[in-house]
Amino acid sequence: TFEGKEMPVGSYYWTLEVRETGEVRKGILNLLRK
């Protein structure tokens, strides 16, 4: 959920930056439901 609502099924791209080290990580989350 996001802001109390279910997210649509699909691919979500994310980026995480650690300010202290400058390290950047990126990835993809595939949201599936039965």
Q: How many domains does the chain have?
A: 1
The domain in which residue 20 lies consists of 1-33
Return the beta strands (E) in 1-34 as ranges.
10-17, 24-31
Structure confidence by residue, pLDDT tens digits, 1-34:
899 999 999 999 999 999 999 999 999 999 999 8
Residue with tokens 């959920």: 1
What's the CA gap between 34 and 6, in Å, rounded?
14
pTM of this structure: 0.65
Asked if 23 and 8 touch (Cβ cutoff 8 Å), the reply is no
Residues 6+ apart with CB under 8 A from 19: none
Q: What's the confidence (pLDDT) of residue 26?
A: 98
